[in-house]
Amino acid sequence: MNLTIQEIANALAIDNINDSRSIEQVEFDSRKINQNALFIPLPGARDGHTFAQAAIENGAIAMLWSQPLDLAPKLEQVTILPVADVTKAFQQLAVYYREKIQPKVVAITGSNGKTTTKDMTEAVLAQQYRTYKTQGNYNNDLGLPYTILHMPADTEILILEMGMDHAGEIAFLSTLGQPDAAAITIIGEAHLENLGSRENIAKAKLEIVTGLKQDGLLLIPADEALLVPLVQPLSQEIRTFGLEQGDLSAKIIDESSQQTTFEVANQALTIPVLGGYNVKNALIAYGFGQYFGLTSAQIAKGLAQVELTKNRTQWLTASNGAALLSDVYNANPTAMGLVLDSFARLNLPGRRLACLADMLELGPDSLAMHAKMAEHIQQHYDKVYLYGSQMLALKEALASQNIPYAYFKVDEKDQLIACLSAELTPTDSLLLKGSNGMGLQAVVQALVEANQ
């Protein structure tokens, strides 16, 4: 980092601090602290202030402090920075640091594909610029300032993923980030339970323009009618993307388990991942590349080299040799339908199987949305393994179509693992998809590690 304790105090309007020592790290997890760190004791199930001593032992030399000062550590080597609200001070410091480094900022939101798009965008822009991106899923009101404060001082383009589950959250994140360019990947059904309708989800996602520069760029899907009336009053440049439609239009040439080749403006491009839906994500990265002045060759090279964050459409091998497509970080009906369709189109050596877990936070129409997944399964799958209470609706739909299935309740994860382990053969290919809260990652891990 490129901050001193004195500078941090000045940025937060804290008086009576005289400490020129440099801060090399900002952390809210005391276990991650190394030398010369600023500790951020955030509120939570256990108040961060209770970990002050552990932070000091690991190398913290300064910390924000919102409790009474007589409770603060009294050590000569530790500078206490008193603030009224640790979370707000943390966010304020992130704004200061962003303004100091002055990178161009790219912001990405959407109901699905945010992380994949972030990874693709970083791979493209890194061909010409020094980039830094959101790590993992640090995409909320704490994760975004954390990302900013971990940005190297020589960063030229900062790529921020922005997540939400309530209205107003993206507006807040966009105000913190002040993007030069932004994108909405897709308007799906995630968080219907909180937002009530896809129309409200579209409005919430469009909050990304709150901090977008007036001369900035916004990329939106060409096939999303809900966004059309919402973007008409905007002053920013609006570009659309899609498969054979939009300002950035792609045609899929070839799709296999390991890569997808498509054409944009008579140029063939390849991404090392499955799925036409990922071509749409790649088009966003393509659009950002164009906006920031990269050549077509640079964009193509970046897309060909992209490495996706773990658990996003990740091919693995079970202990017996079966192929596993793990896509278990999140799920909504749009995303699940897309990956089921893509998996169904693959030329596979043996049986085509799917393990599907509940999609959470879908509101009162959840059961109907789960049942609708039968349209994407039909006769393409040899057997489907269902896990969770909401999947009862899909069970009934599959039964009515005589599609083979096995059903497991929420408390039967061990039975699900045992069943899959017993029935998978070395030539099978198994897709696993469900909301992160259903814990399918444990199923994936068990299949990979069995008998090891």
Does residue 267 contact residue 300 with C-beta atoms inside 8 Å?
yes
pTM of full prediction above 0.85: yes
Residue carrying structure tokens 């199930």: 45
Q: List the structure tokens of 213.
A: 């520069």
Phi, psi (degrees; rounded to nearest 5) at 363: 80, -160
Rounded Cα–Cα distance for residues 393 and 397 (Å): 6
Annotated binding residues for ATP: 110-116
In CATH, which of 3.40.1190.10, 3.40.1400.10, 1.10.10.10, 1.10.3720.10 is domain 103-247+277-294? 3.40.1190.10
3 state DSSP class of 132: strand
Task: Quickly name the fold that domain 3-85 has.
Answer: 3.40.1390
What residues are designated binding site?
A: 110-116
pLDDT of the chain, 452 residues: tens digit per residue: 779 999 999 999 999 999 999 999 999 999 999 999 999 999 988 999 999 999 999 999 999 999 999 999 999 999 999 999 999 999 999 999 999 999 999 999 998 899 999 999 999 999 999 999 999 889 999 999 999 999 999 999 999 999 998 999 999 999 999 999 999 999 988 778 888 899 999 999 999 999 999 999 999 999 999 999 999 999 999 999 999 999 999 999 999 988 999 999 999 999 999 888 899 999 999 999 999 999 999 999 999 999 988 767 889 999 999 999 999 988 899 989 999 999 999 999 999 999 999 999 899 999 999 999 999 998 899 999 999 999 999 999 999 999 999 999 999 999 999 999 999 999 999 999 999 999 999 999 999 996 54
User: What are the structural domain ranges in the chain?
Assistant: 3-85, 103-247+277-294, 314-449
314-449 carries CATH number 3.90.190.20? yes
DSSP state string for 69-102:
GGGS---TT-EEEE-S-HHHHHHHHHHHHHHHH-
Phi, psi values for residue 125, rounded to 5°: -70, -25
* 3-class secondary-structure state, position 352: strand
- Mention every residue, 6+ apart, whose C-beta is less than 8 A from residue 68: none
Question: Cα–Cα distance between 101 and 155 in angstroms, integer?
Answer: 7
Report helix, strand or coil for 25.
Answer: strand
